[in-house]
Structure 1
């Protein structure tokens, strides 16, 4: 083998059949002393790039690592061209001229890539007097190139947003697109505008720089610039959302009204992160680090972890806040927000970190869920402890009934979430699906009632909890009904509240699905039962006045008894009307049903009695004993259950 074989001999290229003739390119030509500016204009970039590629290929296939080939002069010249580009790009007056030539920027990237390949190829040979100067020069040029690209990368990341004709960066100035890089949230309220806000052109520039730096072995520097810049940008977005980290102790000291506002703010922040910011970061990383999924995932993971930790600190503090019934819905909002955050993290982080982060978020959600379960179960204790000493005026719907049923209605709007929470709670308790306050004996007793668990459409831990609450409410209302001395008013009270409960169940799709049609039919039967009992207690006295029994003595009408009957009827009806006009039936349909049923009982009986026995009264004294005509009675019945107009208005359901 010839020692130190050269790839340029007597002005001729030995390894490239495509090389130009010796009279156009030779050693003397390469050694010409010219300024860097003149070099840029004279050299044929395409040809010299081709020659360098050929030399890189030769170095890569050269077997004798201890005896490297001679380095052609055009390698040194090529490195000088690259240096000259860096110098020009750093001069503002050149920037303006260079900004008009897209191919110059592309040439620089390709040239730096060749410098990197040259450095890598030289590094495989043992240092020698012939190669060390070239290698040192190439290494120096490579370092300058990487430093320049690093600064260019930083400039594009920090100043290249929302500007399709960005002045940031010193090359790739040409723009042929004005497409905003963005990822809008499909949740309108969580959109953060065009985020991250880079044009397609800028993203393409950053992709080329990142790929060049990574292939040259400068992955750490590239990732550090990207990570720092994106964290700063993300923190700016968080500030725009008015998110500030709050110490856990300070959160626990807040009054609920203030904490409620902070929770709402936190939810908006997390929703924006889940719906816009994180997806935007993921897409940006995928676009810049194409072909490097591990790097992209690692960068996103580091950013996401720093943000998520701050968000979870607040959620943890909320889970430890003092619990009360009115806080349930905010707790559920926090829980759902955390579930959406898990979805945003999935498929974006590395597998290991994804599991780590989602596990932390899920654990925080579980603690919020346990708080929600505790709050909901406390509703049972609230119902049991609500002991009234005086009845609601007029037998109206009790405030407790309104509160509980509206509470259940709003709670069931979170049905899917509560189903998950109670299911998980039941598994953690390793018990049969039941309320935390019920024993198996309790369930056996409940199964004997008309409202037992078998009437529920779908038996789940949460649906059983709902039925338990309604049954406890029924028991409480039954106890409260005994505060009324008048049995008729007692049934009006039970009818009002029973009808209200039924209407609330039917009026809510979610509650209705949980309770089921069978439960609703049985509840309707119970309300009708109260209705019949009311009629019996109230109007049986009126019907007894209209009885024919005892009116005849020896086959003749006893006028004195008849007169007394008319008198008792009038007195009794006046008393009922006076009293029950102050009673309240706020459900218009129920009120109408009551009035129609009363009319159907009283009017035919009264009309028949009047037609049969009126003739036996003294002609001139009929009006003395007959105060009302059937039409008058019907009109007065229509005025029942309106409440006392001077002290009680109609109540809304």
Structure 2
């Protein structure tokens, strides 16, 4: 709605041009020969005619000569007359150069020409201001950047050379151009024509000052509307994290929009309007954009300088967001602010990158220290995931999403010190000929620090089998997160494979310590030995007791959160235990006696073992406090199955 309203103001229907001269008749300013002077030469006659023609048109549009000229825009009233006006100024300028080189007899005509030129420049100043101010909607950076590009603008031929096409054809670039783009193109063409005319006539400063004031206000307003405000370091330090976090998110979007639209569009417009002078182009754009750009790109330094006492983990990722948006738009920033006079902007953006890089390094070091200094000694129930594991791995997984920018940041960081830590944990599959990238080394190091801390926490378990299950659970979680995130590309398949082997080793150690005595209860007798009925009964009872004790303990005190690992451990235990029990069951059950005795000593079929094991390691089992079924219940259920 505002744009439509602006268009109706800027592009009102044309009215018929005035055919008569304003009240200040130009005939009063014309030079006529007295009856006593010799007849002028042809050249002098043409010169007088040119001055008279210029005087007629210039004085018609003298804003101090008539109300019509004061309230009406020449360029909106008649494009054809505007072109004639510019030609008159150009012709008048040529005559002034010619007259200034002649003798003093021509001074009257030179004075008249200078007077007309001053009137014409005031008119063009007024037109320049009106076009800029009334076309803010059509000359906004977004419209300009959409319509054109700086590359094409630099090669555009001067719009100062007009043809005699009808007014309604001026500025048309084809049916495909939008209405806004058409008006933007027409306004830009008019501005460039006026600028070239005024610069050529020696009135560059008057033109430039108008342009700078109006366009700088647009840039400053645009920066403000994007949510970027001038802040002091003390103001930033006093902000709570929620407020600062919101400002950072707003700033990131502001950089994207300002580089793609705001500054780009302004640079394009400046190049187009002042295409005839590189010096003026540079001066205008630098003065218009410098303050807003410096305000924009100085924000990361303020944030990086905020008190680093216990920064929230999210600050790392906001710092990475800020670094990313500057680095991704760096080529555009360099291109937009390529002038020597805008070096301060490029320097500020680069300084922010350096400051952010330093801040990220400090926060990553703080993250490492947080892992190393974790002093919790209470064992995690069931040998499950330690809170430090979930926190650290989630943190690293999110960092992995910034692998591209972290690769750039970490390239200059010193490598971590690997002393006093097992080298096998640190191996990421690199060779001497092809050293691993710094980011890969850093991620491997951080995981190593975490694993060493988990090793120390496993020692707090009184039950060694539970300690191994704890290590298996936590390492499995780490490996699983690595495999399903960007970290897998940093550490490589070899790293994952080696740590999966370690998970299996921890699991096997758990199985041996937690279930080994159950298996051994059936293996005390040599395979070739012949045992008595009483011995068989005793071994069945021993197995029942060992199995029930192990099952009760493991089902109420052990969990395996990872589905894959849980199934693998259960299948491994079932496979080993069921195989041994089935052999013993098939070989010695006949020694137990009849059906009644069998129910007393043989509580489980081989298939029952797998059924019971399927309920192991579930969090719900531990939370509900479920235990092994009673002997009577299990025996009766066994008999029902066999009956």
TM bin, normalised by shorter chain, reads 0.7 to 0.9
- Cα distance in 2 for residues equivalent to 1:305 and 1:388: 53
- Cα distance in 2 for residues equivalent to 1:97 and 1:482: 90
| Residue number in structure 1 paired with 2:584 | 609
1:72 Cα deviation from its structure 2 partner = 4.3
- Cα distance in 1 for residues equivalent to 2:425 and 2:454: 15
Decide whether aligned partners of structure 1 residues 138 and 636 sit closer, same or farther in structure 2, where only a CA change above 3 A counts.
Answer: same
Q: Of residues 582, 591, 606 in structure 1, which corresponds to 2:566? A: 591
**Contact 1:315/1:364 (<8 A) preserved:** yes
Decide whether aligned partners of structure 1 residues 76 and 106 sit closer, same or farther in structure 2, where only a CA change above 3 A counts.
Answer: closer
| Residue number in structure 2 paired with 1:561 | 535
**Contact 2:25/2:56 (<8 A) preserved:** yes
- Cα distance in 2 for residues equivalent to 1:305 and 1:197: 29
Corresponding residue SS for 1:321: coil
Decide whether aligned partners of structure 1 residues 575 and 377 sit closer, same or farther in structure 2, where only a CA change above 3 A counts.
Answer: same
**Contact 1:162/1:198 (<8 A) preserved:** no
Q: Of residues 312, 316, 323 in structure 2, which corresponds to 1:328? A: 316
- Cα distance in 1 for residues equivalent to 2:294 and 2:615: 65
2:388 is aligned with 1:412: no
**Contact 2:290/2:342 (<8 A) preserved:** no
Decide whether aligned partners of structure 1 residues 90 and 38 sit closer, same or farther in structure 2, where only a CA change above 3 A counts.
Answer: closer
1:643 Cα deviation from its structure 2 partner = 2.1
2:523 is aligned with 1:547: yes
1:229 Cα deviation from its structure 2 partner = 0.8
2:292 is aligned with 1:316: no
**Contact 1:584/1:642 (<8 A) preserved:** yes
2:219 is aligned with 1:234: yes
User: What does residue range 43-122 of structure 1 map to in structure 2 within 5 Å?
Assistant: 72-87=47-62, 91=68, 95=72, 99=76, 101-122=78-99
Q: Of residues 450, 454, 460 in structure 2, which corresponds to 1:473? A: 450
Report Cα offsets for 1:324-346 as digits up to 9, x if no partner. Answer: 23310101111223334543332
- Cα distance in 2 for residues equivalent to 1:546 and 1:623: 19
1:118 Cα deviation from its structure 2 partner = 2.5
Unmatched segments (≥5 aa) in structure 2 = 1-18, 28-39, 140-161, 626-643
Deviates more, 1:483-492 or 1:377-386: 483-492
1:102 Cα deviation from its structure 2 partner = 2.7
Aligned length: 557
Report Cα offsets for 1:380-420 as digits up to 9, x if no partner. Answer: 11111012221111111111111111111111211121122
1:606 Cα deviation from its structure 2 partner = 0.8
- Cα distance in 1 for residues equivalent to 2:75 and 2:592: 122
Report Cα offsets for 1:473-507 as digits up to 9, x if no partner. Answer: 01011111111121221111111111111111111
- Cα distance in 1 for residues equivalent to 2:93 and 2:476: 83
- Cα distance in 2 for residues equivalent to 1:122 and 1:462: 74
- Cα distance in 2 for residues equivalent to 1:499 and 1:423: 30
| Residue number in structure 2 paired with 1:628 | 604
- Cα distance in 1 for residues equivalent to 2:338 and 2:68: 42
| Residue number in structure 2 paired with 1:579 | 553
**Contact 1:348/1:354 (<8 A) preserved:** no
- Cα distance in 1 for residues equivalent to 2:347 and 2:462: 59
Decide whether aligned partners of structure 1 residues 306 and 551 sit closer, same or farther in structure 2, where only a CA change above 3 A counts.
Answer: closer
Corresponding residue SS for 2:361: helix
- Cα distance in 2 for residues equivalent to 1:257 and 1:514: 32
Decide whether aligned partners of structure 1 residues 597 and 97 sit closer, same or farther in structure 2, where only a CA change above 3 A counts.
Answer: closer
Q: Of residues 465, 468, 478 in structure 2, which corresponds to 1:488? A: 465
- Cα distance in 1 for residues equivalent to 2:61 and 2:24: 14
| Residue number in structure 2 paired with 1:513 | 489
1:252 Cα deviation from its structure 2 partner = 1.1
| Residue number in structure 2 paired with 1:281 | 266
Decide whether aligned partners of structure 1 residues 40 and 342 sit closer, same or farther in structure 2, where only a CA change above 3 A counts.
Answer: farther
Q: Of residues 198, 205, 208 in structure 2, which corresponds to 1:220? A: 205
User: What does residue range 166-565 of structure 1 map to in structure 2 within 5 Å?
Assistant: 174=168, 199-323=184-308, 324=311, 325-340=313-328, 342-424=330-412, 426=413, 433-435=414-416, 438=417, 442=418, 446=421, 448-452=423-427, 454-455=429-430, 459-508=436-485, 510-547=486-523, 549=525, 557-565=531-539
Report Cα offsets for 1:425-446 as digits up to 9, x if no partner. Answer: x3xxxxxx402xx2xxx35x55
**Contact 1:248/1:313 (<8 A) preserved:** no
Report Cα offsets for 1:17-49 as digits up to 9, x if no partner. Answer: xxxxxxxxxxxxxxxxx973699999xxxxxxx
- Cα distance in 1 for residues equivalent to 2:182 and 2:387: 53
1:557 Cα deviation from its structure 2 partner = 2.1
Decide whether aligned partners of structure 1 residues 315 and 117 sit closer, same or farther in structure 2, where only a CA change above 3 A counts.
Answer: farther
Unmatched segments (≥5 aa) in structure 1 = 1-33, 43-54, 59-68, 165-170, 185-193, 427-432
Q: Of residues 104, 129, 133 in structure 2, which corresponds to 1:154? A: 129
**Contact 2:298/2:349 (<8 A) preserved:** no
Deviates more, 1:446-455 or 1:223-232: 446-455
**Contact 1:163/1:198 (<8 A) preserved:** yes
User: What does residue range 18-33 of structure 1 map to in structure 2 within 5 Å?
Assistant: none
1:232 Cα deviation from its structure 2 partner = 0.9
- Cα distance in 2 for residues equivalent to 1:309 and 1:407: 33
Corresponding residue SS for 2:62: helix
Deviates more, 1:71-80 or 1:88-97: 88-97
Decide whether aligned partners of structure 1 residues 492 and 228 sit closer, same or farther in structure 2, where only a CA change above 3 A counts.
Answer: same
**Contact 1:335/1:365 (<8 A) preserved:** yes
- Cα distance in 2 for residues equivalent to 1:96 and 1:421: 56
TM-score (norm 1): 0.78
1:644 Cα deviation from its structure 2 partner = 4.0
- Cα distance in 2 for residues equivalent to 1:98 and 1:213: 15
- Cα distance in 2 for residues equivalent to 1:470 and 1:288: 58
Corresponding residue SS for 1:91: helix
